[in-house]
Structure 1
Amino acid sequence: MKLKSLVVFVVVLLIGGCASSQKSEKSFDSQLYDGKPVETLMMTDPPKTEKEAIERGDAAIRDNNQDLALFEYIRSLEFKEGKFKDKTLYTIGRIHQSRNNYPLAEKAYFLALKANPDNVAVLQQIGSNFSKQGDTKQGAIYFIRAINADQLRLQSREKLERKELNQERIQALKSDEQSPVLAYMGLGIISDLDGKHEDAQTFFKKALNIKPDSLRLLLNIGYSYYMSGDFEEAKRSTLAALERSPGNPKAINNLALIYLAQGDTLKALNTFKRHMKDYEALNNVGYFLILQGKAEEAVSYLQQAIDKKPSYYPLANENLERALAEIKMNATEKKKTR
């Protein structure tokens, strides 16, 4: 009888142990996880604190083990009194974004905002993601929220409103080295797209105050000046970008466009030649001359491009046909007006 009772007791213990193990495994919230099976990661005792879990995740990142990092960061979220949930969720989102898992990245970012609606890094990241997807309206909303949250951090009374953007309000914003440079730059790009070039340039200048050595910002403000017709300022910013990165193709292209806009075709051609073949440079000059309404001038450059290329050069031929068609159309219109 005693032996039978002992066997039953052992069986109960085993069943209880299995149930406990299953409960422990189920406690892991996998909604933000997309790595290898979690069973392979449960090699150590569960973390005792949020900080311990985050430190384990940081160590896994340093070891380039993203699956383990995700596992540990997600475990840190289980602590109800956690102080770093929004920052951890942002980190989780960044890991997913680096792996091109945008749905999970977005889910993590919005959970981070639920934990802290004023997380500047999260707000500007969401703004950037919307803008890259072509939704500049939503992008602007989150960029503005990021800047306003930053004003709270800096104890500033200034606040941006989408409908009341102007240079004075932008200039009045406080900033430091921690301010959301991506949000300022994003609003600059969106303002340029809206044709509000002076607002764009003010945003870019604010961003340059935060990050003076940014090549991307110098290129953006240079292009903004180009679009607004201020070619000297455009040239100044673009040359500054080339000082930082002499072979940068975008900076070289922009400088060539500025020379073309100023009517210095030879300088534009020589600038294009700094990073492309002769026939490509000649074709580019011809193409942009067409866009400027100078089809007759474009013809000689396009013909030279075709002559320089030993084999068939379809792009230059297409541009030449376009230039000749425009010349013919212009001639027809002139006859009609007589």
Structure 2
Amino acid sequence: MKYLLVLFLLTGLLAGCSATRTADLEERAQASDEQMLTMAGHYERAMELEKALIYYLKALENTPDDINLLYQIADLNKRLGKNDFALQMLKRVLVLDPAHSKALTEAGLIFLENKQLTEASTHLLQATVEDQERLGNASSLSRHYVALDNDSPLLAYNGLAVTYDLMGKYEQAREVYALCLQSFPRNPVVLTNFGYSEYLSGNYEAAVQRFREAIDSTPAYKRAWTNLGLVYTRMGRYNKAYQTLNQVMSDAQAYNDLGYFLMLEKRYEEAEHFFERAINLSPRFYEVANANLEDVRQQLALMRDEAEFLSN
């Protein structure tokens, strides 16, 4: 009887030790996750992003369905230039929450960067639909937009408009740009993209106006100056194009870019002139202009050969 009592007490004691140990391990695991996130945050603030990513991934091992953590890892990978891995994380977020506006936007922008226009438009359109429904627009799918607010994902709307431009849907693109400008009238990125959309449609004067608005908003925004130079080149206003490009680049670079724009339009003789001017200003340093000049002269030689062949 005494033996049975002792055995019972030992069994209970062992069971108690086992339970205590399990609870201790669980507590330590939880503390470990918190430590992982703390370390990840520390390295992220220190801009040591690779180290931060390692700790975020360790924390994810115990909480694989943590939407916020998945999105954070996706964002970090995108900042590191690892778009493929970022997209994997964003897809996991969207499986858990198909209406996650930020994930839809970021995934759409990655698809856009990869020139996967169908996937880009699908994700970015869904992000704008979610936002329009948040704003109380019951007919968002019919593209009857309501005005945006400060919580609207401007990147999604702007990205959708860029996608429409790349798909040749210029009217739809301009509609979305105009919507963005209603609430963000001085945004230089939207203004510049709107101007480029007008340029693609052949509306050069309207394009000039949009680029000038972007420059007035943000004088240091180089892309607006460059695109404005492109339009002036297309309009045959070469002096104006040079003066515009020269606002944000050297004389040699301005002449080279002017020549490059003309080369794209197959206006080779005019392009040759400006490449030569770029080289005369910087003959040793400006290797790019030399390479472009060689390309132009090859094209001119081919054209002369073709003309001679046809004349015979």
Q: Tell me, yes or no, if structure 1 residue 180 matches structure 2 residue 153.
A: yes
**Partner SS state of residue 186, structure 2:** coil
Q: Which amino acid aligns with 1:147?
A: T
Q: Tell me, yes or no, if structure 1 residue 20 matches structure 2 residue 55.
A: no
The aligned residue for residue 217 of structure 1 is: 190
- Answer whether contact 1:86 1:119 (CA < 8 A) is retained: no
- 1:200 pairs, out of 158, 173, 176, with 173
Q: Which amino acid aligns with 2:25?
A: Q
Q: Which amino acid aligns with 1:254?
A: N
The aligned residue for residue 145 of structure 1 is: 126
**Partner SS state of residue 275, structure 1:** coil
- 2:216 pairs, out of 235, 243, 259, with 243
Structure 1 residues 154 and 313: CA distance shift in structure 2, 3 A: closer
Which whole-Å deviations, capped at 9, do the CAs of 1:215-236 have from their partners, x for residues lacking one? 1111111111112211111111
Structure 1 residues 121 and 315: CA distance shift in structure 2, 3 A: closer
What is the distance in 2 between the residues matched to 1:8 and 1:153?
Answer: 60
**Partner SS state of residue 247, structure 1:** coil
The aligned residue for residue 300 of structure 2 is: 327
What is the distance in 1 between the residues matched to 2:280 and 2:27?
Answer: 74
Give the superposition deviation at 1:124: 1.9
What is the distance in 1 between the residues matched to 2:79 and 2:285?
Answer: 41
What is the distance in 2 between the residues matched to 1:120 and 1:100?
Answer: 21
Q: Tell me, yes or no, if structure 1 residue 158 matches structure 2 residue 130.
A: no
Which whole-Å deviations, capped at 9, do the CAs of 1:81-126 have from their partners, x for residues lacking one? xxxx766754564355445665665455444434443232332222
The aligned residue for residue 125 of structure 1 is: 106
- 1:38 pairs, out of 12, 27, 32, with 32
Structure 1 residues 214 and 297: CA distance shift in structure 2, 3 A: same
- Answer whether contact 2:74 2:87 (CA < 8 A) is retained: yes
TM superposition score normalised by structure 1: 0.72
Which whole-Å deviations, capped at 9, do the CAs of 1:238-287 have from their partners, x for residues lacking one? 11111122122211111111111111111111222222222222222222
Unaligned 5+ runs, structure 1? 29-36, 43-55, 80-84, 161-168
Q: Which amino acid aligns with 1:144?
A: L
| CA RMSD in angstroms, aligned pairs only | 3.9
Structure 1 residues 193 and 23: CA distance shift in structure 2, 3 A: same
Q: Which amino acid aligns with 1:332?
A: D
- Answer whether contact 2:187 2:217 (CA < 8 A) is retained: no
Q: Which amino acid aligns with 2:117?
A: T
What is the distance in 1 between the residues matched to 2:285 and 2:136?
Answer: 64
**Partner SS state of residue 232, structure 2:** helix
The aligned residue for residue 253 of structure 2 is: 280
Unaligned 5+ runs, structure 2? 47-51
Percent identical pairs in the alignment equals 25
Q: Tell me, yes or no, if structure 1 residue 134 matches structure 2 residue 104.
A: no
The aligned residue for residue 50 of structure 1 is: none
- Answer whether contact 2:160 2:173 (CA < 8 A) is retained: yes
What is the distance in 2 between the residues matched to 1:10 and 1:222?
Answer: 78
- 1:94 pairs, out of 72, 75, 96, with 75
More helix by share: 2
- The alignment of Structure 1 onto Structure 2 pairs a total of residues equal to 300
**Partner SS state of residue 193, structure 2:** helix
